[in-house]
Chains A and B, each alone.
Chain A
């Protein structure tokens, strides 16, 4: 960007809050000049690593013959667990259940055992193939379908949420249904795969460029693995080519191995796994088996619900405890369960350790809630939307004040789902289209249509309270330009530009005056992962805090220097009015510098109000909730199970949006990703414990031609955050993702039409064409009985 000359007469700054400022890197994205880690100029002599992966799902390593690997062309070194100088562990929760490199035993097919370091990446990859490892194979389990969630091995402590006596309520209810549902996992398929580039420094120092959502954790893991202090390790990331949760903990391994090799060999080392290795060796969204037991009356009022959420966690805990917790936190979605019992079962399997993924278990919990709604709707022969509305939490502000306590005993204080759904019902013409679809289906033998509207309520905050803090660092230079740094990472979600907007707004300067800089542990320490949709809430507030400190100093200085009251110092666009005089922001800064005023500040923020007692299952884990709803219509071919999304209407709220363009982008993208999860994205393990869907040729994320044919996304302009979050905005990363549930339920509605809507299809996810066809066949067979 060329040097900017601020307009000193402007009525508004360029790029303040509530403007549709473009992504800060958009120009670089489209020209190919945005630098991702693999695009950085490598230091001279950079070596390349490749991981040697386990070829059995569970076994003891009897012997490892790596002689041929070492002798292969270009190979400089081969690292095994014995080469880890510090702790051979990257467990993010301190359970010591996840090695950097497997030692003695392997617990899933694809587990990294050794790392080849060679002059070129191709040489490292070729050499990897030459390893001879002798295993004593052990029994293994990959699927959770056959496990008992209450008895089988868990990777971490389960959670129970309880309010009222669910068993009694269900037992006394006029009607009762029990059932089981399966919902599949999901690969993140960030377009930029994992990568780490480690550059050794003097003493114990190492700098690691890591594609990570959690630089501080990478720093800590690298320091543990190296056996050095955290101050020796600096982790930096300017941007990721997508994260979605897949780079919250999964970057640790690559960073640790690159750093170990770099320190050992005293050369820069880059580790970029091939896509297949990335998909094989890194964790994914947890798939679940959900057992449900629901009691209700003839009108469809739900009286009690009992859930067991069993999750495939893989061989180690990773974040599975928090993920399965969040599934329980969302087993109510937007519904009030008068009596509820919900338990989680984070199950051990011989598969890669599953991890964070946009929604973090929440969507799986909501899918369970929506299945329960569907069951009750079919049982009472009512439109599922009617059952949904009947069971919503009571509107907030309702004097009666009942029907608003969650299964975790937090009172919902900001509920707006009634208005969201009512508005969307009208704008999408739900009732009219339902009639049209019925008429269409009556005359169409092979193609059937279906429609569904599903709501979303998503809790915002890390449920681990200590993560709800953030830091920022703001420098103002003497020319009035601003250097901005904070602990949040940019993975495409537009965090950097949103925080820059907040800082520009605070100083009342055009956004071009604010330089967004790479996230690094050397500038802002002890940061939380950019996760839980919290990026702009936390870092926006921290940056605002830093800017305000400087601004306050400038006000103090100006008032004193110009002999005016402090309230006579007013920040106008690109200028400051001091008494009756206006000077440019840059001029004031220059004066302040000359007067030796500190022009740099570290900002800090911690989310108020939240607390959580896991043992008791009670607390106020969420600062606020974000709401939305989606209505989708589909066509299904009943001969093959193929389908198309005819139309989707979304009404979603982001409070007083910081940036409408960015927020709508998050909603559109989140919806399509959520729909992909529930439709074509299928993970398949074979009978040898191997993941068979480890590349885009076999794992099918949505294409442009999978998005809804008609796609209307609207922000609820009237909404604002009831809490004083940054400029009264709301988080937007995860909440739109479960809007994809509307597609699953529209498919279910179309399937149900083959039996005149008399049988609940119990359509599981992912609803691939195969699963849709097989469900049609089952429903037809049941109807014929």
Chain B
């Protein structure tokens, strides 16, 4: 392993300008950088936790030679994670002539703003959507706006504006499209293959040059805070004001961003965001599509990684239960040594995972459900979208030719201190006929598996009842029929 060259500044493009920053603290947020250091005050702070979207900016990044712009929450994005990126704020939308951008003109004409505080964030989210999908469906619009709160309009005029943007201009004429080649060239020129190390009064940030370099850094700095998407760590800073130095940023490492499939097992690198994993997972394991659509808002899905969702060990992370139900495994790496363990064994207790100092999650391996098997996952929340799970159940069932349960794996989130299998329930079902009677008889076993808590999201009583009912819903879905079994926001296409 050769030692990477070291650079003591991060480099990125802010709107039209090349920036080299040597004085960036590891916990400085992009929003503070924009507002306090650059006096770019179009982006607003509404919550400082990635939930309201008033701070939405676009971050463009070269990935496999392609430049992709995504909306992110500047309030929980660390400035230090922007090496090699193009940051686009609302101030960059005008063409300088005073003429509004199509997104902006549509918002004005459809009366899409009232108090206006959330508006720059909406404009940026709609801008990202429009570039991706100039004529979006209502479902696509709602999905794109899951991470933007508006308290004034009731959203209806904003939706009308979103439908109409393309009547105001063509994506091909947008500056970010027209200037794409020069931006790509400028970003490529910034990438010297060096590791970045910055030390401000003893607070340090590191941006590894490669995964091998990351492994080397973590061996030397076993207590470092590993930051991929910062959708969790961001709040450690903005809400809890925790010291997180030294920080190692990994979200830029292309080697951790691959999604591949071999022998019916999908391998997802630790740096893969929800957005990046969506295409493959929703195609190969269709039940995961609607689930991912309900994790955070678009900005959070663009930043947050599946590896981070596992590594932080949260009992209410949304990907571990379905992955556990599918029998996923996890690869951890320390230096050059790797080990692969069943995912469920990674979660030891609340706040405690099977990760050694200096070790990092490298990839998760998710088996595609066998043909003819049934796999479903249901997430229950107070508000349908952009809400944290009250309870989430994942069910993976294979029936024998005689209609008995040949295999079943059930896992829940929100029901225990860790993502956890319902082993007693599984046992009560295994080998029995897959019928209403069998399932109803198995419901009592939930009491053996789980003793949920009451909190602001749900009472223990509701968690238990809804969790049991999810098994009944799963049964009904495997039995088919014409009546709807779930409420839906949009009829299936």
Contacts and interface: CB of A to CB of B under 8 A. Distances in A.
B489 A705 contact: yes
A122 B203 CA distance: 16
Given A493-B114, A696-B149, A773-B462, A705 B384 contact: yes
Nearest to A445: B483
The 7 closest A-B pairs by CB, nearest first: A32-B42, A492-B115, A241-B117, A29-B116, A672-B154, A492-B114, A696-B51
Given A36-B117, A644-B489, A665-B111, A770 B458 contact: yes
A431 interface: no
A703 B385 contact: yes
Interface of B: 32, 35, 39, 41-49, 51-52, 54, 89-91, 93-94, 100, 103-105, 107-109, 111-120, 123, 141-143, 145-146, 148-159, 238-239, 241, 378, 380-388, 390, 455-459, 461-462, 465-466, 469-470, 472-473, 476, 482-489
Interface in A634-649: 635-637, 639-644
Contacts of B152: 242, 492-493, 665, 669
B264 to A, nearest CB: 32
Contact of B150 (A129, A191, A635, A713): A191
A251 B476 CA distance: 53
B380 A640 contact: yes
B184 to A, nearest CB: 26
B241 A704 contact: no
A690 to B, nearest CB: 10
A193 B107 CA distance: 23
Given A191-B149, A192-B117, A697-B388, A26 B107 contact: yes
Nearest to B387: A700
A131 to B, nearest CB: 14
A706 B384 contact: yes
Contacts of B390: 770
B447 to A, nearest CB: 17
Interface string A655-674: 00000011011001111110
Contacts of B39: 41
Given A447-B483, A705-B146, 11 more contacts: A30-B112, A31-B104, A191-B52, A447-B485, A491-B115, A640-B378, A695-B47, A696-B47, A696-B52, A773-B469, A777-B465
A240 interface: yes
Contact of A241 (B107, B108, B115, B159): B115
A580 interface: no
A700 B51 CA distance: 10
A618 interface: no
Contacts of A126: 241
Contacts of B486: 447, 637
Contacts, number: 275
A275 B49 contact: yes
Given A644-B489, A661-B111, A129 B239 contact: no
Nearest to B388: A697
A446 B474 CA distance: 12
A748 B378 CA distance: 24
A191 B46 contact: yes
Given A28-B116, A31-B100, A705 B483 contact: no
Given A239-B115, A241-B117, A770-B462, A447 B487 contact: yes
Interface string A1-37: 0000000000000000000101101111111111110
Interface residues of A, number: 92
Contacts of A411: none
A687 B152 CA distance: 33
B176 to A, nearest CB: 17
Given A28-B116, A241-B44, A682-B382, A704 B159 contact: yes
Contact of B44 (A36, A641, A701, A713): A36
A641 B89 CA distance: 40
Interface string A161-193: 000000000000000000000000000111111
Contact of A642 (B143, B159, B487): B487
Interface in A440-480: 443-447
A245 B155 CA distance: 20
Nearest to A447: B484
For the complex, would chain B's binding face be called helix, strand, loop or mixed by DSSP majority? loop
B108 A695 contact: no
B380 A446 contact: no
A61 interface: no
B484 A707 contact: no
Q: Max chain B CB contacts within 10 Å: which of A20, A443, A492, A777?
A: A492
A652 interface: no
B49 A703 contact: no
Interface in A23-57: 23, 25-36, 38-39, 41
14 contacts: A22-B111, A29-B107, A33-B42, A189-B151, A274-B48, A447-B486, A492-B117, A639-B469, A639-B472, A644-B489, A673-B154, A696-B47, A705-B384, A773-B469
Contacts of B54: 191
A132 interface: no
Interface string A385-425: 00000000000000000000000000000000000000000
Interface in A670-702: 670-673, 680, 682, 684, 686, 692-693, 695-698, 700-702
Nearest to B384: A705
Q: Max chain B CB contacts within 10 Å: which of A30, A126, A494?
A: A30
A635 B483 contact: no
A637 B54 CA distance: 32
A669 B487 CA distance: 24
Interface string A111-122: 000000000001
Contacts of B156: 668, 707, 711, 713
Contacts of A191: 44, 46, 52, 54, 115, 117-118, 149-151
Contacts of A777: 465
A447 B473 CA distance: 11
B96 to A, nearest CB: 12
A32 B120 contact: yes
Interface string A226-251: 00000000000001111110000000
B154 A707 contact: yes
B100 A30 contact: yes
Nearest to A668: B154
Interface string A477-510: 0000000000000011110000000000000000
Contacts of A698: 388, 456-457
Contacts of A636: 487
B241 A129 contact: yes
B382 A768 contact: yes
A446 B116 contact: no
B26 to A, nearest CB: 14
A703 B473 contact: no
Nearest to A274: B48
B456 A684 contact: yes
